[in-house]
Chains A and B, each alone.
Chain A
Amino acid sequence: MSEKKLMKGNEAIAEAAIRGGCRFFAGYPITPQNEIPEYMSWRLFEVGGQFVQSESEVAAINMVYGAAGAGARAMTSSSSPGISLKQEGISYIAGAELPCVIINMVRGGPGLGGIQPAQSDYFQATKGGGHGDYHMLVYGPSSVQECVDILYNAFDKADEYRIPVMILGDGMLGQIMEAVTLPEMKDVSKLPEKKWAATGKNTGENRRIINSLYIEPDELESLNRKLFDRYALIAERETKYEEYLCDDAEIVLTAYGTVARIAKSAVNILRENGIKAGLLRPITLYPFPSKAFLEVANRPSVRRFVCSELSMGQMIEDVKLAVEGKKPVDFYGRTGGNVMTPEDIVEFVRTEVLK
């Protein structure tokens, strides 16, 4: 049965992951995501799962590698500096084609940075992050309910494509409390069998090996090509975005996550003031909804795009690539943990975009 509850973003994410089948979690404390391991530390044992507070983020991602390799639905969470530490493990997970879910409640950087919300890990999340040719399936939810909906199905997607799935949140999304409808618990005993998993039950010719070492160049190249064929399939099937009042829009705002909510309010204020604004919101950040951007850019009504982020400008590179120079793209961002208001975006549109 589904139920409605008032929940903090981080706790809703943890509960949705468990209802989606998560049975193993390893993590290390770091602000602003601590409610996720805290919730997992008691909740997982109630459903027959396992929780480990690891000695480091490095160990946590490798525990996830071990549990996922043995066939469990495994997850870890952290925030920016901790996610940097996990990059080697994520690369191995991608190379060994293991499914898992990784939460990044992004805080400002570089270095130790701050503990306030930021979106400055977009490049790291969408362009690889660790070494080697690989991608993750990356979601940028903008509400607690959307976090729940994405987490609930994230393990299915990870299993289907044997790919790490990342939820790129931010400190605000983790800390905010909202009413959410929680879906019912998935029956993990009825999940499809993982015919590749090193479950310990196999010997001889049926032995299963989880590995990312390919000494023969041709073998490594075929792995690289196989992974990228899979990414193309994911782009075809899993790309998600939201269009808001774009039909007659002259100014198209674009933003993801928390900023998309602020931008949506800015669209409403601009419309009240007679400016035809709309919002194009990527929900998957990798694959990026490039086709949707090009289609909107080709509309004669559209004059300019305005990309708004909590960074010095990272997603804007994908926006510019997607619109192929058909329309100009302006940038408005705040950093350091500062968050813009809808009025800030409205002011930017009035003074900088429509000048």
Chain B
Amino acid sequence: MAKVFEKTKMLTDAPFHYCPGCTHGIAHRLVAEVLEEIGAEGHCIGIASVGCSVFAYNYFNCDMLQASHGRAPAVATGAKRADPSNIVFAYQGDGDLASIGMAEIVHAATRGEKITVIFINNAIYGMTGGQMAPTTLEGQKATTCIYGRNPEINGNPVKMCELLATLTGPSFIARESLADVKYIVAAKKAIKKAFEHQMKGDGFTMVELLSSCPTNWHMTPEQALEYVRGDMEKLYPLGVFKEV
């Protein structure tokens, strides 16, 4: 029988621990497929961060370093510079990247570190049980803003692509969504572009992926994807913010 589909060899056989309806699995597969397509096997290091994707080191079929909370871009900087022939990527969530790790992401970007950051924005702290994230939308409920995020009390959500695109160091900054098949296809293209820029040595690259968290949003998977396509995309528009 002819084989018409195969799992990418850049993922291990370890079963994902993610909740039903979570889009981390899609993001993992897209990144792994791109790594395979660009021929990263055998010269690739991944950096796992702290949050739901902490166990990413079990899933990507390459050497992996697990970083402390927020520091993945610094760890990636060290790993890349130790051997610049490697393709190096960090996989971070919104709490990790846009809150505790704000300094590391901004400075890795402005230094133009030749790394690729995959930024999962699901507007919530998933692993710790649904607290407000730096990217939580105004009015969105979380366990530390139970009446919905109120900018007067909780401050405003941060837009990372817009912020990083103002810097000189990045060569590719894009935001895509995982909430629909056509978006997923576009997301893969953006991820591939980011890695290609890294391979050419152009500078820092990041792809933000709007993602869903049905468990902590207290929605069904379908409602959660609808929320991404609606409210989230309104605040966080999709597209390429910088490419040089």
Residue numbers of A with Cβ under 8 A of B are 23-24, 26, 50, 52, 54-56, 58-60, 62-72, 74, 88-89, 92, 96, 198-204, 207-213
Contact = CB atoms under 8 A, between A and B. Distances in A.
A200 B44 contact: yes
Contacts of B44: 200
9 contacts: A62-B67, A63-B75, A63-B78, A71-B82, A198-B45, A199-B83, A202-B62, A209-B63, A212-B66
B42 to A, nearest CB: 6
Given A64-B78, A203-B61, A210-B64, 18 more contacts: A50-B81, A55-B103, A59-B104, A65-B74, A66-B65, A66-B74, A66-B78, A67-B79, A69-B79, A74-B78, A199-B45, A200-B42, A201-B43, A203-B42, A207-B61, A207-B62, A209-B65, A213-B66
Contacts of A71: 82-83
Contacts of A58: 71, 74, 103-104
Interface of B: 9, 12, 41-45, 47, 54, 57, 61-68, 71, 74-83, 85-88, 103-104, 106-107, 111
Contacts of A56: 103
Contacts of A59: 71, 74, 77, 103-104, 107
A248 B107 CA distance: 60
Given A200-B62, A200-B63, A211-B57, A26 B78 contact: yes
Contacts, number: 144
A70 B83 contact: yes
Contacts of B82: 23-24, 50, 66-67, 70-72, 74
Q: B57, B68, B76, B78 — which one has the most chain A CB atoms within 10 A of its CB?
A: B78
A65 B61 contact: no
A254 to B, nearest CB: 37
A65 B63 contact: no
A211 B74 CA distance: 16
B57 A70 contact: no
A199 B106 CA distance: 26
A347 B79 CA distance: 54
A130 to B, nearest CB: 10
Given A66-B74, A210-B64, A210-B65, A54 B107 contact: yes
Contact of A203 (B62, B74, B87, B103): B62
A210 B75 CA distance: 11
A212 B41 CA distance: 25
A199 B43 CA distance: 8
Contacts of B80: 66
A349 to B, nearest CB: 47
B75 A66 contact: yes
Tell me which of A200, A209, A211, A213 has the highest count of chain B C-beta atoms within 10 A of its own C-beta: A200
Chain B CB within 10 Å, residue with most, of A67, A68, A96, A210: A210
B107 A211 contact: no
Contacts of A64: 78
A92 B68 contact: yes
A26 B65 CA distance: 18
Contacts of B107: 54-55, 59
Contacts of A66: 47, 65, 67, 74-80, 82
Contacts of A74: 78, 82
